[in-house]
Amino acid sequence: MTDQEILYQGAEAKIIKSTYLGYDAIVKKRVHKRYRIKEIDQVLIHSRTKQEAKVMALARSHGVSVPLIYDVDLKQGAITFEYVKGKRIKDIFDSITSVQRKKLCQQIGVQIGLLHNAEIIHGDLTTSNMILSKNHVYFIDFGLSEISTEIESRGVDLHLFMEALESTHSLHSTFFTYVLNAYTKTYNENAVLVKQKIDDIVKRGRYR
């Protein structure tokens, strides 16, 4: 890999633009934590890197649009995957037309439905973790993802995205309806139970 450029430095990982066998690539490299015992730190980085790569591969196999993984280095805690050229949904959501925004939300709902069909919970569904490339929505950053069959987990996943719209795109938060409708048509199990769980989570927040 050559010509590396750090795009983002977070508490958990560095996001680096690079190349892999001549292709533009992104490297996500987990950061070592000095406050942790070295051996424990290495085990955590190893397991979390492995989990994220596994989930991304599983999601892709179930039709979810995620970057193609090129390489996984468990020792270094690094995943190298294709560079998806496009724009973050966060950066365009408020500026596109209502028709475009509706179609975008429908795509997002379908993608979440496919994730949940595969028993994958993303864990960080925000418009920052979605990229629009050639009119297609890609999901990124599966660092908090998990495998779960629980309705609660599905409700939390969708509720998180609903909150993301309300906080980051408050003028268009009602477009979550299109996300939920598309999700309902895609999700293979009982979507009514997921909707009820979202309502339960909202009520919990009100009575805290």
Positions annotated as catalytic residues are 124
Angle at 12 between CA 136 and CA 114, to 5 degrees: 30
CA 101 to chain centre: 19
Amino acid identity at 109: G
Q: Which residues pair with 20 in a beta bridge?
A: 23
Distance CA 62, CA 147 (A): 14
Q: From CA 116, how far away is CA 95, in angstroms rounded?
A: 29
Distance CA 74, CA 59 (A): 20
Q: What is the DSSP string of 94-107?
A: TTS-HHHHHHHHHH
How far lies 183's CA from each of 57, 73, 84, 94, 141, in Å? 21, 34, 24, 21, 20
Residue 155 has which token pair?
């409700």
First to last CA, the chain: 50
